[in-house]
Structure 1
């Protein structure tokens, strides 16, 4: 039974009555933003604007500063343990307020980090993170985008592409748009790591903010664009609810 199922929601409400009011508020906000925006990107940009105004760290999914630090460190350690080197050029899709980006920026050679996000508001928070952690001299690129076509980026430029907790908030057509274009900006031998909310049952979404996919759906979609996708089993051992896939060029 999925989280979007009314029976599941009713049972959950009975077990967690303290969460009913927050859920109703979220539902009301969702309806308001949905009526005022024409597509998912516009909708989620409005969500991020609202969340960032309250707390930039919570806006990227960290309820406490300690959790923000821990999740960033976990992403960094995993990529370094799986091939990231200082001389690499890295593109981070959905860089947020640099939860992990601050560590990547510090580790990579000057100018080696390029972060994009659909939310201008969270990128302002990212600028504050750069200042707080003394990273201005590393000359990172932080750019707002309207889509994931990556049209303004050069061919075969990035060794590593990274998207943490982006596709977990994306309908399938947004993911497909990324798959259709990401191979062009990847260098031979490079890779693209992304996380997603995995389900082994029916694929579904909750309030247009949380999307659940089967692994084979994303693997097959990547293959449609000539990309090889591998489920990263060892990521499952880490304290994180999402799963991870690595995409490479054949």
Structure 2
């Protein structure tokens, strides 16, 4: 199965022209601010550690890094080109002294950071993943959350788990049961964490412009 984000390549000139902002879905300022405001409203503090799963080119990472204490931001992504673009965004924002941490990894090996996290977020990550890969992510995040830690994730929702047709989520996004972009019925998520020391909360609408819904997994 071809993975768009894994296979994506960007030249230096494309990064300089901010093409990375487009390839991660645009709405750069809007969705970056949305993520930041949401996590702060849920209790994120500067002294907390944050894991940004699928950090990409730091659409959400820039406001998080600016807010968090030095060294408290950890970003992981499947694509080295997007992380390099994110480092350019960091330099432009004057935030290199905040010493964020980055890892290019496709297996959700969060333990390679050698620490546990207070908060984690995966914004527009599960929307591109088949269910077995989501399962891997959840098994590994449980191992890397502190007790009381929270993992916020977005997903495209299907109200009918027997619907095999595409669903129009907004004007420019149609989602599918078995191909990217994926939608899921909420019931699959409690099933995936059954037997793990995680609890799930359905948050639902959080004002995402493309109708992605929010879940919280807490340890």
Contact 2:9-2:81 within 8 A present in 1 as well: yes
Are the equivalent residues in 2 in contact too, given 1:179–1:225 (CA < 8 A)?
no
Deviations 1:32-68 (A, max 9, x none): xx5xx6xx5xx5411x337995820111111xxxx21
Q: TM-score, normalised by structure 1?
A: 0.75
Give the RMSD, CA atoms, in angstroms: 2.3
Which residues in structure 2 correspond to 1:19-168 (within 5 Å)? 34=1, 40=3, 44-46=5-7, 48-49=8-9, 55-62=19-26, 67-154=27-114, 157-168=116-127
Question: Are residues 50 and 80 of structure 1, via their aligned partners in 2, closer, same or farther at CA, if it must alter by over 3 Å?
Answer: same
Number of paired residues?
Answer: 203
Between structures 1 and 2, the one with greater strand share: 2
Larger Rg: 1
The 4+ residue runs of structure 1 with deviation greater than 2 A are 48-54, 201-209, 222-226, 237-240
Q: Give, in angstroms, the shift of residue 142 of structure 1.
A: 1.6
Post-superposition Cα deviations, 1:151-181, rounded to whole Å, max 9, x if no partner, equal 41335x2100110000000011110001111
Secondary structure, aligned partner of 1:188:
strand
| C-alpha distance in 1 between matches for 2:83 and 2:48 | 22
Match of 2:193 in 1: 222
Do 1:148 and 1:174's aligned partners in 2 also have CA atoms closer than 8 Å? no
Matching residue of 1:180: 139
Of residues 149, 152, 160, the one that matches 1:193 is: 152
Once structures 1 and 2 are overlaid, which stretch shifts more, 159-168 or 53-62?
Answer: 53-62
With normalisation by structure 2, the TM-score equals 0.85
Q: 1-side partners of 2:63 and 2:5: how far apart?
A: 26
Q: Could you tell me which runs of 5 or more consecutive residues in structure 1 were left unpaired when the two chains were aligned.
A: 1-33
Structure 2 segments unaligned to the other structure (5+ residues) = 165-174
